[in-house]
């Protein structure tokens, strides 16, 4: 066996024959010997069948991440180029004059493990979240410069490629934090559009600057905004609120623990062309405490958006997360009268739709109130979920109508 080959234990190859991309350390019989991290490894089942080529990282719990499946040749620069083109082309219909902010590459879902690329107008924001993606950064930057102009629909004029790698992802791979401009000149604050709604984004901010995974959900929720007072909990830069303002909400209350996010949210609401100015209130507070306080103060809203950060980062945290989600939803429901609407989300990959529905139902039961599920939410089409990799489905939610 050559140095860049690896064999799995008996019975552990089956899920990879149906394209599951992750191999944990416990499934490996013979690891590759002193592997150059630049080289993908060829993975074999215990019976000798070739399973495919994978990135290898001995410092990560996810030891192997498949790039390609079956007996094909080792992925080379041409393979990466074609795989990147395929990812870009799958998003053609999702962009245009109305939408210029989108996820272009979604890691394992696009057969490029550890690589995230977001488009924020004319700026590309990349994250290298696996060792295998990290070592290839010069190649990816070169390929992006070459491919983006031809494969991203107009209007598009590449100004900069910037790195904003997420801290947690890199830490789990044993990689140092890494941020900065990789190519071009970064416009400080610029405008992007989503479903025709304008937003200011700061590609220099901590995160990737905009959560494109909520695109379709913002559109759906905005259909219910007309004539309603809105409370946007964990609003970030006001994604849902800007839509709600453009669609006739009567007032907006923004709640987030980040002051810069709130400041940007106010600007984003002001960008919308609204016939009559509407009152906007900001609460720079912790959502858990503030929702309880608002309920004690007997405040009322007609439509609440509740989009907290990941509350279940690990399996061990699931029980605590159940209580946290229930608590947030319970206090949100206390702010809604009969007919009130709650758009509630979880972006924890480990929390299923069924888990979230159960915890919300506990909240309604404690309050002795009936409620309906009016809509069910997932993640936007630029964050596809491979049929054989349900782990990619992290965003879920419901639109709940309080009956009494």
Residue 234 binding ligand SAH, by CB under 6 A: yes
- Report how far residue 102's alpha carbon sits from residue 109's, in angstroms, rounded to the nearest whole number: 15
| List 234, 235, 347, 382, catalytic entry | 347
- Report how far residue 23's alpha carbon sits from residue 236's, in angstroms, rounded to the nearest whole number: 35
Residue 340 binding ligand SAH, by CB under 6 A: no
Q: How far is the CB of 259 from ligand SAH (least distance, A)?
A: 9
Out of 44, 236, 377, 389, the only residue in the binding site for ligand SAH (CB under 6 A) is: 236
Which residue matches tokens 């159940």? Answer: 322
Q: How far is the CB of 328 from ligand SAH (least distance, A)?
A: 9
Query: What residues contact residue 263 under an 8 Å CB cut-off, 6+ apart?
Result: none
Residue 260 binding ligand SAH, by CB under 6 A: no
Query: What residues contact residue 320 under an 8 Å CB cut-off, 6+ apart?
Result: 311, 312
The residue among 45 and 194 lying less far from ligand SAH, judged by its C-beta, is: 194
- Which residue has the CB atom at the shortest distance from ligand SAH? 239
Residue 51 binding ligand SAH, by CB under 6 A: no
- Report how far residue 281's alpha carbon sits from residue 377's, in angstroms, rounded to the nearest whole number: 27
Contact present, 294 and 220 (Cβ < 8 Å): no
Query: What residues contact residue 17 under an 8 Å CB cut-off, 6+ apart?
Result: 45, 49, 51, 69
Residue 351 binding ligand SAH, by CB under 6 A: no
Query: What residues contact residue 221 under an 8 Å CB cut-off, 6+ apart?
Result: 240, 243, 244, 303, 305, 343, 399
Q: How far is the CB of 169 from ligand SAH (least distance, A)?
A: 16
Q: State whether residue 216 is helix, strand or coil.
A: helix
Known active-site residue 347:
yes
Q: How far is the CB of 304 from ligand SAH (least distance, A)?
A: 12
Which positions from 206 to 225 touch ligand SAH by CB under 6 A, shown as an x/- string?
Answer: -----x--x-----------
Residue numbers at the binding site for ligand SAH (CB under 6 A): 211, 214, 234-237, 239-240, 256-258, 261, 286-288, 307, 309
- Residues with catalytic function: 347
């Amino acid at each position: 066996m050559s140095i860049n080959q690896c064999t799995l234990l008996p019975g552990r190859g089956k899920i990879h024959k149906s394209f599951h991309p992750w191999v944990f350390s416990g499934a490996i019989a013979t690891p590759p010997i002193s592997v150059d991290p630049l080289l993908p490894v060829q993975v074999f089942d215990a019976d000798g069948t070739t399973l495919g080529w994978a990135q290898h990282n001995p410092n990560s719990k996810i030891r192997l991440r498949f790039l390609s499946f079956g007996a094909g040749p080792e992925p080379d620069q041409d393979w990466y180029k074609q795989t990147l083109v395929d990812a870009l082309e799958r998003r053609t219909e999702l962009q245009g004059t109305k939408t210029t902010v989108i996820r272009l590459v979604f890691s394992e879902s696009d057969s490029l493990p550890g690589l995230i690329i977001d488009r924020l107008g004319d700026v590309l924001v990349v994250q290298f979240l696996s060792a295998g993606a990290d070592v290839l950064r010069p190649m990816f930057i070169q390929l992006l410069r070459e491919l983006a102009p031809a494969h991203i629909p107009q209007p598009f004029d590449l100004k900069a490629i910037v790195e904003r790698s997420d801290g947690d992802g890199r830490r789990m791979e044993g990689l140092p934090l890494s941020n900065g401009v990789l190519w071009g000149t970064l416009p400080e604050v610029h405008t992007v559009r989503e479903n025709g709604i304008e937003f200011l984004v700061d590609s220099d901010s901590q995160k990737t600057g905009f959560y494109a995974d909520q695109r379709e959900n913002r559109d759906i929720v905005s259909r219910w905004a007309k004539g309603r007072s809105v409370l946007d909990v964990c609003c970030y830069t006001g994604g849902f609120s800007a839509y709600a303002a453009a669609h006739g909400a009567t007032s907006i209350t923004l709640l987030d623990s980040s002051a810069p996010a709130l400041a940007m949210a106010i600007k984003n609401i002001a960008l919308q062309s609204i016939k009559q100015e509407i009152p906007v209130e900001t609460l720079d507070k912790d959502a858990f405490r503030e929702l309880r306080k608002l309920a004690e103060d007997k405040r009322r809203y007609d439509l609440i958006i509740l989009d907290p950060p990941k509350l279940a980062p690990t399996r061990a945290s699931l029980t605590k997360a159940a209580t946290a989600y229930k608590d947030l939803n319970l206090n949100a429901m206390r702010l809604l009268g009969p007919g009130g609407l709650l758009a509630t989300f979880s972006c924890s990959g480990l929390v299923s739709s069924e888990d979230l529905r159960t915890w919300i139902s506990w909240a309604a039961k404690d309050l002795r109130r009936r409620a309906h599920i009016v809509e069910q939410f997932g993640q936007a089409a630029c964050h596809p979920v491979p049929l054989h990799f349900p782990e990619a489905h992290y965003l879920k939610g419901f639109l709940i109508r309080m009956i009494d």
